[in-house]
Amino acid sequence: MNKADFNVPDLIIKKRNGESLSSAEMDYFVKEVVNDGVQECQLGAMLMAIYLKDLTDEETVCLTKNMMHSGELLGPWPAEWKGKVVDKHSTGGVGDKVSLILAPALAACGMKVPMISGRGLAHTGGTLDKLEAIPGLSVSASTEEMTRWLTEVGCCIVGQTANLVPADKRMYAVRDVTGTIDHFGLIAGSIISKKAAEQLDVLVLDIKFGIGAFMKEKRRAKALAEKMVTIGKGLGMKTSALITQMDNPLGRMIGNALEVAESVQCLHGNGPSDLEDIVLKLGAQLLFQSGNVDSTEKGEADLKKTLNNGEAVKKFQEMIINQGVDPNTAKALCAKGADMWKILPKSKFTTTIKSPKSGFVHGIQALTCADCSLNLGAGRHASTDPINHAVGLELCVSIGDKTSEGEGLVIVHHDSKEMPSGMSEKLVGAFDIQPSPPKSIPTSRVADVVS
Ligand code: URA
């Protein structure tokens, strides 16, 4: 069939009537999206038809493949890297700085990680914003630079190149204003097409559920994970997903520079246990699925070794130097026991919020923490807003900890002399403090694995 065999209104009607689009029809439609052959209103109508009538897995794979090929691809990677090109995608959570630790730790295990990340919006912090808290760091790179960095170091964390999956850029912008964001097939298409354009061998997904996550219920997170794993495999990538709990913030730091500092600590093997556990479990999936280790236990042990023996932090140091940081600055940030605040931007003021009563910490509301961090200036309300890298929250307690009346619960790092009005009360309310200890404290946030 050729272009003349189809037209956009017929395809919209077909989908509206609940029929499946053929591979040739999907191919035609996505090409027209990129070539401006689909009007804005037609794209909105098609996305709504998809939202209401759904896509089969076959259609979703086809849509995703066409989206992937709508622009340039990274690579081709050298043949000797076969099986070693890996990446992770997270649906986003509060205090989620996993990428900053995982990419260098995997590089230290011999993997190649061409990580393409995003910026934060509303409650979700963005990996690129966090990295940019490091003076001099740039997140833009050409494919040639990425190939060189992967050859020399093994990892980089950069923003999307201008022509990577242009179909998604157009579709996402229309989804955003037509009530069609939260469709599993469209989410899978959007995320998997971008990861497939990295020409990965293996992908792991961190699908979060809970108060601080996009998906509140575990059941829904698992359903999305299953859809994304199916589509990832359909595009030829070994894909698996961890379903992880996001009721309370991950680690103890929320805010850009604060999260970099915690990541460097974790890269030295001194990170909070919940953060390190997720890093090890996601990385172990990649090492196992790629056939580089015989079990996920061995993968975790290999990764843990790189955190303890200095190899992971060395990779991080090399990665940030490649990405524009002055070598002496990188060395000073990454040296064991370094005072990272000589390098990272520090807020002008700190205020400690104290516990109103004695007891045990049962919960820390992730969404409230994210909201406060956002209002301090660590995040952006609109995509064009500037952000403040220095501000954020430093939790003084974790789930299960004993606290006494008057002891610190959280340190607020702020740049205006006065904290935003009502924030102190709001933060106190984020802590669920009970007279007796919680019955059980999960040792891992990983609730399920889909592979
Ligand atoms: N992130 C994306 O890139 N696309 C989606 O559809 C949702 C989250």
**How many other β-carbons are positioned within 10 Å of the β-carbon of residue 429?**
11
Could you confirm whether domain 3-54 is CATH 1.20.970.10?
A: yes
Q: Which of 15, 65, 97, 175 is catalytic?
A: 175
The residue contributing the CA closest to ligand 1 atom 3 is: 191
Q: What stretch(es) of the chain map to CATH 3.40.1030.10?
A: 79-334
Q: Looking at residue 123, what is its pLDDT? A: 74
| Among 128, 185, 132, 192, CA closest to 160 | 128
Q: DSSP letter for 270, please.
A: -
The residue contributing the CA closest to ligand 1 atom 1 is: 191
Place of tokens 């790629």: 290
Joined together, the tokens standing for residue 341 give 């605040």
Q: Looking at residue 1, what is its pLDDT? A: 53
Q: Which atom of ligand 1 is nearest to the CA of 190?
A: 4
Joined together, the tokens standing for residue 85 give 């090109």
Place of tokens 């622009």: 71
Q: Looking at residue 3, what is its pLDDT? A: 59
In DSSP notation, 305-347 reads HHHHSSHHHHHHHHHHHHTT--HHHHHHHHSTT--GGGTS---
Q: What stretch(es) of the chain map to CATH 3.90.1170.30?
A: 349-434
Please confirm, yes or no, whether 119 is among the known catalytic residues: no
47 lines ligand 1 (CB under 6 A): no
- Within 13 Å and on the Cβ side, how many CA atoms surround 134? 33
**Backbone Cα Rg of the chain:** 22
Is residue 409 within 8 Å of residue 396, measured between CB atoms?
A: yes
Query: Residue 448 corresponds to which amino acid?
Result: D
What mean pLDDT is reported for the chain? Answer: 96
Q: Looking at residue 154, what is its pLDDT? A: 98
Joined together, the tokens standing for residue 94 give 């509060």
Q: What is the CATH number of domain 349-434?
A: 3.90.1170.30
* 97 Cβ contact list (under 8 Å, min separation 6): 125, 127, 130, 250, 251, 253, 259, 260, 262, 263, 266, 275
* 450 Cβ contact list (under 8 Å, min separation 6): 222, 225, 226, 229, 240, 241, 243
Joined together, the tokens standing for residue 176 give 């955003």
Please confirm, yes or no, whether 129 is among the known catalytic residues: no
Topology at the third CATH level for domain 79-334 = Pyrimidine Nucleoside Phosphorylase; Chain A, domain 2 (3.40.1030)
Interval between CA 49 and ligand 1 midpoint (Å): 19
65: phi > 0 → left, psi -120 to 50 → alpha, else beta; which? alpha
d(CA 288, CA 301): 12
Interval between CA 51 and ligand 1 midpoint (Å): 15
Could you tell me the CA-to-CA distances from 239 to 47, 139, 225, 255, 265 in Å, in that order? 26, 26, 10, 30, 29
Interval between CA 362 and ligand 1 midpoint (Å): 32
Query: Residue 114 corresponds to which amino acid?
Result: P
* Residue of 187, 195, 198, 208 best suited for mutating to test ligand 1, as the one with most atoms within 8 Å of CB: 187
* Residue of 190, 192, 214 best suited for mutating to test ligand 1, as the one with most atoms within 8 Å of CB: 190
Q: Looking at residue 188, what is its pLDDT? A: 97
Query: Residue 242 corresponds to which amino acid?
Result: L
Backbone phi and psi for residue 69, each to the nearest 5 degrees, phi listed first:
-85, 10
Please confirm, yes or no, whether 339 is among the known catalytic residues: no
Whole-structure pTM value:
0.96
Please confirm, yes or no, whether 170 is among the known catalytic residues: no
Interval between CA 224 and ligand 1 midpoint (Å): 12
Joined together, the tokens standing for residue 398 give 């974790």
Q: Looking at residue 134, what is its pLDDT? A: 98
187 lines ligand 1 (CB under 6 A): yes
Please give the sequence-ordered ranges of beta strands (E in DSSP) within 282-430, or none if there are none. 349-354, 359-364, 392-395, 402-403, 408-414
Q: Which of 65, 69, 112, 194 is catalytic?
A: 194
Please confirm, yes or no, whether 190 is among the known catalytic residues: yes
In the predicted model, residues of the chain with pLDDT beneath 70 are 1-4
Could you tell me the CA-to-CA distances from 1 to 24, 320, 410 in Å, in that order? 7, 49, 63
Is residue 137 within 8 Å of residue 324, measured between CB atoms?
A: yes
pLDDT digits (tens, 9 = 90+) for 145-164: 999 999 999 999 999 887 89
Joined together, the tokens standing for residue 264 give 């460097």
Is residue 205 within 8 Å of residue 229, measured between CB atoms?
A: yes
The residue contributing the CA closest to ligand 1 atom 2 is: 191
Helices 57-68 and 218-234: crossing angle in degrees, nearest 10, is: 60
Q: DSSP letter for 124, please.
A: B
Q: Looking at residue 2, what is its pLDDT? A: 58
Joined together, the tokens standing for residue 195 give 């990861």
Greatest C-alpha distance within the chain: 74
pLDDT digits (tens, 9 = 90+) for 11-61: 999 999 999 999 999 999 999 999 999 999 999 999 999 999 999 999 999
The residue contributing the CA closest to ligand 1 atom 4 is: 190
Q: Which of 89, 268, 304, 389 is catalytic?
A: 89
Interval between CA 25 and ligand 1 midpoint (Å): 23
Q: Which atom of ligand 1 is nearest to the CA of 189?
A: 6
d(CA 404, CA 252): 19
Three-class secondary structure assignment of 136-205: CCCCCCCHHHHHHHHHHCCEEEECCCCCCCHHHHHHHHHHHCCCCCCCHHHHHHHHHHHHHCCCCCEEEE
Joined together, the tokens standing for residue 123 give 């409650």
Q: Which of 168, 206, 274, 302 is catalytic?
A: 168
Interval between CA 194 and ligand 1 midpoint (Å): 10
Q: Looking at residue 388, what is its pLDDT? A: 96
Is residue 109 within 8 Å of residue 135, measured between CB atoms?
A: no
Q: Which atom of ligand 1 is nearest to the CA of 118?
A: 3
The residue contributing the CA closest to ligand 1 atom 5 is: 187
Sign of CA dihedral 67, 69, 70, 74: positive
- What is the SS3 assignment for 436? coil
d(CA 228, CA 144): 29
d(CA 191, CA 2): 29
191 lines ligand 1 (CB under 6 A): yes
